[in-house]
């Protein structure tokens, strides 16, 4: 699926407030789709999987039941 996200943020610094807005589109995959995608590209190896919290000690499995994954890929 293709998803669209918009984020808004207000930053106050030294008494001044500024607003920021970011929009982006991304593709989501279910676990089977992701596995097929990874296996279809022989030039890449999956080295590690983490969550969106980017905890370097929190390596996870792809099938851990969560939907947030950051994949570390290496070119062969």
pLDDT in tens, 42-72: 999 999 999 888 788 889 988 878 888 899 9
* Gap between the Cα atoms of 56 and 30, Å rounded: 24
Task: Judge contact between 38 and 46, C-beta under 8 A.
Answer: yes
pLDDT tops 90 at residue 3: no
Indicate the SS3 state at residue 45.
strand
Cβ(63)–Cβ(46) below 8 Å: no
pTM: 0.64
Place of tokens 């919290």: 53
């Amino acid at each position: 699926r293709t998803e669209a996200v918009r984020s808004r943020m207000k930053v106050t610094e030294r008494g001044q407030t500024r607003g920021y807005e970011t929009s982006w589109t991304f593709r989501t995959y279910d676990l089977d789709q992701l596995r097929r995608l990874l296996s279809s590209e022989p030039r890449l190896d999956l080295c590690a999987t983490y969550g969106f919290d980017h905890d370097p000690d929190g390596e996870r499995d792809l099938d851990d039941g969560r939907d947030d994954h950051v994949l570390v890929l290496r070119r062969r």
